[in-house]
């Protein structure tokens, strides 16, 4: 794989950009792999990348029934933060946030990481106490956050209305090193790096069954034939329950749609990410000028990947009071993604009842921000059978009652 650089761009400009190679190969599947990852989204590709980079396991296939990054990775709102309350959550999200900071250099691919800062508004007395508690917890966890005043909120985001009649802004939890990245670029960068290590990215191929012998995985059935493997990683987000059933076990998750929208592009008006849990909405501005707006997940189980008018109305109505200027904007497009939710709103990174099968799911509304940390932990679990980052997120916690309750931190779709 040729490295991307300013010199490469200049060289190709001189010959009309005729020398660029494909970013990743599209090979036919081999008969056998050391490991197969089902799902070519951010989490699946990151798992494959760290299997190769950290553990030297490179005879790997990433199998995707659609196209690379076409699921939740390409349908989210790109927010990155790590200001969670519980220690296991803060650890894995902070690992992800720190990896994001150097990911462009690591992958030799510009993921457009922008540490513009993330603020979570306190608009009730209850939220003030909750965010101050989180700020104290983050200090103990080594996560840099602080609780800031309404005046500081206004300084950071001048377009915000801090004197709303129903929900005035009383302060905010501020993480200066949080921010955003380009969601497609994250998937493409990982895919390119995986392909360069000799891994096979197999698109338009559905895994229809999991082959087992003596309680251990031996391969998968696909729409392109049977492929043998020693280890299998299921990383398919909202379809995790479907894949688990094909492997012969059940997962404590449910799938719902999460919707978001963008406005027409406008000149720069805000350079931070603002989240408002009380009114259940959040907003940032993309590099192209679009206002990226989202809210909560649908209130019923479904597998849809499109928006709905009632949800757009609910989300925008909630945000208009805090950001009056958006009432004058036109909506450009809106969409939905399928998120998988656990009862405690924390992920599952775990071994399963089938020996050699591992599962990474349950990220709910916060999957994008976790991609590098999730892949790091899942790869370590598959390679070594244990990962300090993943230990607390095993399936055993539901049987033993060791819940990691992040229902407040994950209460807004972000």
For the segment 250-300, what is each residue's pLDDT rounded down to a tens digit? 999 999 999 999 999 999 999 999 999 888 889 999 999 999 999 888 888
For the segment 112-152, what is each residue's pLDDT rounded down to a tens digit? 999 999 999 999 999 999 999 999 999 999 999 999 999 99
For the segment 140-191, what is each residue's pLDDT rounded down to a tens digit? 999 999 999 999 999 999 999 999 888 899 999 999 999 999 999 999 999 9
The total of other beta-carbon atoms located within 10 Å of residue 249's CB is 14
Domain spans, the chain: 27-109+182-252+345-400, 118-178+255-342
140 pairs with which residues across the strands?
A: none
In 3D space, the residue among 173, 177, 164 whose CA is nearest the CA of residue 121 turns out to be 173
Predicted pLDDT of residue 1? 75
How far are the Cα atoms of 63, 101, 413 from residue 112, in angstroms, in the given order? 26, 10, 22
Q: Once rounded to an integer, what is the mean pLDDT over residues 306-331?
A: 88
C-alpha to C-alpha distance for 362 and 235, rounded to whole angstroms: 10
- Check whether 18 has a pLDDT greater than 90: no
For the segment 237-252, what is each residue's pLDDT rounded down to a tens digit? 999 999 999 999 999 9
- Check whether 50 has a pLDDT greater than 90: yes
For the segment 192-211, what is each residue's pLDDT rounded down to a tens digit? 999 999 999 999 999 999 99
The mean pLDDT value of the chain amounts to 93
Split at pLDDT 50, 70, 90, the class of 407 is confident
Q: Once rounded to an integer, what is the mean pLDDT over residues 49-75?
A: 96
Structure tokens at 315: 């989300």
Split at pLDDT 50, 70, 90, the class of 412 is very low
Architecture of domain 118-178+255-342: 2-Layer Sandwich (3.30)
C-alpha to C-alpha distance for 191 and 6, rounded to whole angstroms: 21
- Check whether 414 has a pLDDT greater than 60: no
| pTM of the predicted model as reported, rounded to 2 decimal places | 0.95
Q: Once rounded to an integer, what is the mean pLDDT over residues 25-46?
A: 96
Split at pLDDT 50, 70, 90, the class of 413 is very low
CATH number of 27-109+182-252+345-400: 3.50.50.60
- Check whether 401 has a pLDDT greater than 80: yes
Instruction: Report whether 147 contacts 127 (CB < 8 A).
Output: no
Contacts of 152 (CB under 8 A, 6+ apart): 172, 174
DSSP strand pairing (281-285 vs 273-276): antiparallel
Contacts of 158 (CB under 8 A, 6+ apart): 270
For the segment 105-114, what is each residue's pLDDT rounded down to a tens digit? 999 999 999 9
Instruction: Report whether 172 contacts 322 (CB < 8 A).
Output: no
C-alpha to C-alpha distance for 206 and 170, rounded to whole angstroms: 50
């Amino acid at each position: 794989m040729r490295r991307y650089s300013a010199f490469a761009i200049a060289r190709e400009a001189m010959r009309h950009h005729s020398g660029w190679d494909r970013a990743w190969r599209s090979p036919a599947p081999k008969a056998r792999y050391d490991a197969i990852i089902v799902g070519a989204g951010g989490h699946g590709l990151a798992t494959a990348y760290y299997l190769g980079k950290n553990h030297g396991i490179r005879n790997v296939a990433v199998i995707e029934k659609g196209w690379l990054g076409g699921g939740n990775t390409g349908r989210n709102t790109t927010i990155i933060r790590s200001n969670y309350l519980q220690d296991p959550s803060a650890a894995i999200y902070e690992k992800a946030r720190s990896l994001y900071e150097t990911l462009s250099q690591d992958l030799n691919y510009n993921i457009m990481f922008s540490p513009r800062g993330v603020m979570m508004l306190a608009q009730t007395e209850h939220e003030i106490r909750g965010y101050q508690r989180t700020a104290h917890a983050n200090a103990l966890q080594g996560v840099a956050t602080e609780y800031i005043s309404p005046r500081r909120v206004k300084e950071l985001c001048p377009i915000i209305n801090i004197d709303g009649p129903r929900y005035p802004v009383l302060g905010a939890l501020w993480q200066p090193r949080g921010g955003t990245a380009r969601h497609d670029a994250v998937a493409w960068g990982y895919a390119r790096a995986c392909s360069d290590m000799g891994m096979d990215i197999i698109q338009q191929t559905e895994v229809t069954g999991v082959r087992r012998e003596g309680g251990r995985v031996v391969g998968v059935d696909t729409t392109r034939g049977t492929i043998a493997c020693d280890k299998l990683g299921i990383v398919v987000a909202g379809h995790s329950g479907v894949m688990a059933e094909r492997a012969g076990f059940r997962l404590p998750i449910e799938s719902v749609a999460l919707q978001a929208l963008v406005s027409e592009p406008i000149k720069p008006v805000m350079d931070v990410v603002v989240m408002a849990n009380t009114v259940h909405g959040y907003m940032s501005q993309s590099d192209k000028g679009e206002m990226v707006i989202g809210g909560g997940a649908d209130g019923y189980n479904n597998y849809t990947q499109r928006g709905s008018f009632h949800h757009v109305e609910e989300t925008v109505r909630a945000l208009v009071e805090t950001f009056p200027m958006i009432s004058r904007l036109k909506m450009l497009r809106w969409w939905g993604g399928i998120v998988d939710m656990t009862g405690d709103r924390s992920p599952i990174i775990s071994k399963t009842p089938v020996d050699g099968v591992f599962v990474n799911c349950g990220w709910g509304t916060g999957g994008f921000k976790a991609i590098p940390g999730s892949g790091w932990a899942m790869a370590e679990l598959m390679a070594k059978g244990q990962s300090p980052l993943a230990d607390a997120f095993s399936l055993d916690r539901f049987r033993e009652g060791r819940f990691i309750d992040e229902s407040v931190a994950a209460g807004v779709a972000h």
